[in-house]
Structure 1
């Protein structure tokens, strides 16, 4: 089986737009990712097998892996999910967490299903604005904080 058959003109052009360093080839980047993974996992021989599997198209790397894995920038993770508890301190803590994840290049998602509904009573008196109201906070932090150009 021909190695890197999937690495055509279009995929090379795409990878050059922010995933590879100046003068770096996609093949070299795969080798560097494989070596970084072997070092992190401490599994002798992992790099060769991993590089072979990517080269043969058995593995397809996520954008943040191409851009960040083994480098001192961003996170090598595509997306993170957070669970939002029905407490104001938890809501604000998770907003900060999502902001930091976004800062380091990760996409984010959140589960708002445990928040009380609009009009339900809250402990300090008054009523809740509902989950959608809090979703706007998370939408804002995600649009304001950059994803490290990834």
Structure 2
């Protein structure tokens, strides 16, 4: 164990290897998590979406970067229940973006999240447009 620790120390001293920011800033403390990235996915229910938001807010507040898969959600206008229709995936991703921007990672930096949608999803074009500078916030 000591040999491994010394080897890692030597590599870092020579700039051959450097751990991610959460590992460097949270190591040896009682704050944050010693892991930098987390992956999860939203299911096709309101309960699952809210659970994902809750998990992502908690992870971001502890210093983790997040990658969320949204491809399980139905596209805009598809049937929900007896007579309802979905609002689609884009509004839920917008909420996730706002939550991520609102979270500070222990005064170190803002939260970071990536959202993923498969190319065959009915809202893929709207999803791609979210990244345009002239998108919904303008």
Whether TM exceeds 0.5 here: the answer is yes
Contact 1:85 1:114 (8 Å CA) reproduced: yes
Distance in 2, matches of 1:125 and 1:44, equals 64
- 1:96 equivalent in alignment to 2:49: no
Q: Secondary structure at the match of 1:61?
A: coil
2:92 to 97, 122, 134: 134
Once superposed, which parts of structure 1, at least 4 consecutive aligned residues long, lie more than 4 Å away? none
Q: 1:148 corresponds to which residue? A: 106
How far residue 108 of structure 1 moved from its aligned partner, in angstroms, is 1.7
After TM superposition, the score normalised by the length of structure 1 is 0.66
Q: Which residue of 2 aligns with 1:106?
A: 64
Larger Rg over CA atoms: 1
Show CA shifts across 1:83-129 (max 9, x none).
11111111111110001001111122211111100000012531111
Aligned to 1:47: 5
Cross-structure match for 2:134: none
Partner secondary structure for residue 45 of structure 1: helix
Q: CA deviation at 1:45?
A: 2.4
Structure 1: runs of 5 or more not aligned: 1-42
Match for residue 69 of structure 1 among 18, 27, 47: 27
Which structure's residues are more often strand, by fraction?
2
- TM-score normalised by length of structure 2: 0.71
Matched residue count: 108
Aligned partners of 1:105 and 1:149 also within 8 Å: no
Bigger fraction of residues in helix: 1
| Pairwise CA RMSD | 1.5
5+ long unaligned stretches in structure 2: 109-138
